[in-house]
Amino acid sequence: MSEPLLNLTPAGLYCSRGDFHIDPWKPVPRAFITHAHADHARWGMGSYTCAEEGAGLLRRRVGEAANIATVRSGDALRVGDVTVSFHPAGHVLGSSQVRVSDGREVWVCTGDYKRGDDPTCAPFEVVPCDVLITEATFALPIYSWAPGEVTAREILAWWDEGVRRGHACVLFCYALGKAQRILGELARLVDRPVYVHGALEPLVEAYRAAGVALLPTLKVTNAEKGRRFAGELVLAPPGAYGSTWLRRFGDYETAFASGWMRVRGNRRRQGFDRGFSLSDHADWNGLLTTIAECGAQRVLATHGYKDVLARACREAGLSADVLSTEFSENDDEGEAT
């Protein structure tokens, strides 16, 4: 029996026939990166390869001096005895699935992905394969997402209520991906500025530089001293919740935009006034649909409810197991605090 195309090693997923890792969590000579969240794109690699669209964010993550090569989505790259290509994952700007083939078998590592429409990144592409390595962050039937436009209208209604009642609406969201998606979804509905925490601004500008249409933004720190924020929408990273930074807004309400808000108890336990169920990961049906559409006969589930997803695959007649990786079950990449 031939060696698998990808193996789990102490440094991460490794392809010995191409001598590279995918999203390694320890320093390695050559890393292929699915996207720029901190649990997938770490410092210290000898070289990085990613899809063209994700290069700007990756460089912000790992530094200007990093050795980064890019590949156009769908283009085949010969690496040792295998062929590698990147395909849109629909998670955040530049996020990709990595396809690895030796001419006889095809493996696809999805990284993080979602199936819903998102105006800020390329949509997910179904990639036929024999073995699928898939995330399982929200692999429970309770997790089911409404279209982003529906959630954006809910956020806009909350914002409009803040205008009428004269209080600020402070919406907490992950710094990379979620904040930009909110700005992109709202840009389809209104054209008025949004205030943002300083940790979000560089990433928002990175999306603008990539040609993504977003609502205009203003930095909270640039507002004049004593400015009242009544009726304003303010985006902030989760790390700012409960901090003295909030005092400047006077009368305000808080909300959190995350897939975890699908469970109402999460909002109550964390103390937010509102919760908006908006995720950059596939929901339960999205995971099952992807597995069915790609035609994989073997599924390896990583991070999240991986045991639940593997069991569902086995009940459907597929070969399935779990991979214990160091990828996070959250989008919060740490820079937002």
pLDDT tens-digit series, residues 73-91:
999 999 999 999 999 999 9
- Would residue 165 count as lying in a domain? yes
Output the pTM of the full model.
0.94
Task: Quickly tell me which residue has 């005092």 as its tokens.
Answer: 247
Residues 6+ apart with CB under 8 A from 202: 60
> Does 292 score more than 60 pLDDT?
yes
- Would residue 335 count as lying in a domain? no
**Same domain membership, residue 114 and residue 13:** yes
> Does 3 score more than 90 pLDDT?
no
**Same domain membership, residue 139 and residue 285:** yes
Question: pLDDT tens digits, residue range 30-41?
Answer: 999 999 999 999
**Same domain membership, residue 78 and residue 203:** no
**Same domain membership, residue 212 and residue 138:** no
- 320, 313 Cβ separation under 8 angstroms: yes
Rounded to 5 degrees, what are φ and ψ at 29? Answer: -65, -40
- HSE, CB side, 13 Å, CA atoms: give it for residue 120: 30
- Would residue 30 count as lying in a domain? yes
**Same domain membership, residue 84 and residue 55:** yes
**Same domain membership, residue 76 and residue 50:** yes
- Would residue 337 count as lying in a domain? no
Task: Quickly tell me which residue has 């949509």 as its tokens.
Answer: 123
Number of domains in the chain: 2
Domain extent at residue 20: 7-143+281-323
Per-residue model confidence (pLDDT) at position 1: 54
Which of the four pLDDT bands, split at 50, 70 and 90, describes residue 225?
Answer: confident
- Would residue 334 count as lying in a domain? no
